[in-house]
Amino acid sequence: MKLTQEENAIRKGSRGPVWQKVMNTLILYGEALHAECFVDIEWGGHFSIPFALPGVGPRLEMLTELAEAGLKTKYPFTLDPKAPIDFENLGLSAEQKRVFREMLRDQPAYDKRMLELGLRDENAYTCTPYFTEVGNRPPRGAILAWSESSCVVFVNSVLAARTNRNSSILDLLSNIAGKTPLTGLLTDEGRRATWRIDIKVLKRPHPQLLGAAIGRLVMDGVPYITGLDRFLRPDLDDETVDYLKEMGAACAAIGAVGLYHVENITPEAIDQGRRLLVAGAAHDAIDDGKLEALLASYPVMWKDTQAKPRKCFIGCPHLSLRELRGWADSIFDALQAEGRPRIAVETILCAAPHTISRFKADTESYMKLISAGVKLSPTCPEAYMNNPLCAKEPVITNSNKFRAFTSARLLLDEELIEAIVTGRINQSRDLK
């Protein structure tokens, strides 16, 4: 890589051994990815390393080494959702709590180190940092070094900021150095579409089912999606943004998509249209039949496939304010229609701490949820399932991302509401 004088000096140890290790890591990484040089990071980071769980977050010794050397990120950063320590919202048994306490025994020290390294504040934990109320919302064109696949694909596609799909720990080191290798999705060429995907369906599909279908087709390619604009508003209103958030999360988790373009909807597609497509781009179409087949292919991973659901998680990725209000209304209306006062399946809606605070200020919606027995939590449903005792429970969700990484069972929204309210799953879909 072509290095500046300063980068070269750091590489040789001008700022001490820890800085030297940071720079050497980034140089080797950039060379591996064929980057010619570094570019400066222009906005705060978002990282997928919120837990002290082994294998998921950095070792505490490493964070300590960085912090004690006085290193800190160039801009304040946000982290993925908090570990599941809000036991009061999660309905845990004593044994489940004990296991979580043991698994997360290093969490307080870990959280402290993160603050020292530049974490914005004690509430800066969510997988939707880009929502206005959370405030880590990069402007168009800003160079970033983010991780968390659902965040990367959202800021690249919907906000037209620029980040590669960074790995955990590399995200932190890049933001400490304030530099990231110039390659891939940071470049104009890397943002061009390598696939054209035509959506040929009769009604707007479930976003995380469509996202999974796209992700399976294109893997780490960049899809240019046509035909979806029939179902979305062109001005990126809240409903459209929420749809794209959900679709992108599934594209990224079930494939490895870091950027998509939706014709007439997303910023770069509006500006450049089909000129974004590379010559010889691959081409495929998704219709209702393919989506139905995909849904039917998902096995039920529960030990007892006929079990009654014990818990429901909604909000992977975290819900928006509009989505929280929508679920409150839907659950309330369904309860009224069934003549029931409270839900039959323990249900947890997950959202950013800032989003939950704003939602609580809307007393009418909040009271609907509370009176129905629904809980709100800032945690991550996937992290809940890291506890082996929790992973055994028959959990339902509408998140295909959550399903893909755990034993949770996917239900479409209407089926999910029916199950929450009645405690029964409509078995019309064949069990696999």
Binding site for other proteins (CB under 8 A): 21, 24-25, 28-29, 31-34, 48-49, 54-59, 62, 147-149, 152, 164-171, 184, 219-220, 256, 405
Q: Which residues does 88 contact at the CB level (< 8 Å), separation at least 6?
A: none
Contact 411/399 with Cβ under 8 angstroms?
Answer: no
Question: Residue 59 or residue 97: which is nearer to other proteins going by CB?
Answer: 59
Supply the minimum distance, in Å, between the C-beta of residue 204 and other proteins.
Answer: 28
Min dist CB 60 to other proteins, Å, is 12
Q: Which is nearer to other proteins, 369 or 408 (CB)?
A: 408
380 close to 350: Cβ distance less than 8 angstroms: yes
Q: How far is the CB of 168 from other proteins (least distance, A)?
A: 4
- If the CB atoms of residues 236 and 278 are measured against other proteins, the closer one turns out to be 278
Q: Which residue has the tokens 């950095």?
A: 58
Residue 9 vs 53, nearer CB to other proteins: 53
Closest distance between other proteins and the C-beta of residue 349, in Å? 23
What are the angstrom distances between the C-alpha of 331 and each of 307, 308, 340, 341?
A: 22, 19, 11, 11
Question: Which of 216, 210, 211, 221 shows the shortest CA–CA distance to 258?
Answer: 221
Question: Which lies closer to other proteins via its Cβ, residue 48 or residue 365?
Answer: 48
Least separation, in Å, of the C-beta of 397 and other proteins? 18
User: What is the rounded CA–CA span in Å between residue 259 and residue 248?
Assistant: 8
Structure tokens at 169: 């720990």
Residue number with CB closer to other proteins (131 or 146): 146
**Residue 22 vs 319, nearer CB to other proteins:** 22
CA distance 163 to 187: 10
The CA distances from residue 190 to 162, 262, 367, in Å, are 10, 17, 48
Least separation in angstroms between residue 387's CB and other proteins is: 11
Residue with Cβ nearer other proteins (138 or 255)? 255
CB of 47 to other proteins, least distance (A): 9
Closest Cα partner for 316 from 373, 229, 245? 245
CA separation for the pair 93, 423 (Å, rounded): 20
Q: Is 42 or 65 the residue whose CB approaches other proteins more closely?
A: 65
Minimum separation from the CB atom of position 173 to other proteins (A): 8
Cα 229 from chain centroid (whole Å): 23
Total Cβ atoms within 10 A of residue 308? 13
> Shortest distance, CB of residue 183 to other proteins, whole angstroms?
9
Considering the complex, what minimum distance in angstroms separates the CB of residue 419 from other proteins? 26
Closer Cβ to other proteins, 25 or 330, answer by number: 25
Whole-Å CA distances, 398 to 60, 178, 414:
34, 38, 10
Nearest CA among 231, 197, 192 for reference residue 214: 197
Radius of gyration from C-alpha coordinates of the chain: 22
The rounded distance, in Å, linking the Cα atoms of 201 and 281 is 22
Angle made by CA atoms 196, 202, 206, in degrees to the nearest 5: 75
- Residue tagged 């009176």 (tokens): 371
Rounded-to-integer distance, Cα 198 and Cα 217, Å: 12
DSSP 82-120: BPS--HHHHT--HHHHHHHHHHTTTHHHHHHHHHHHTB-
Minimum distance from CB of 171 to other proteins (Å)?
8
Give the residue with the Cβ less far from other proteins, 48 or 156. Answer: 48
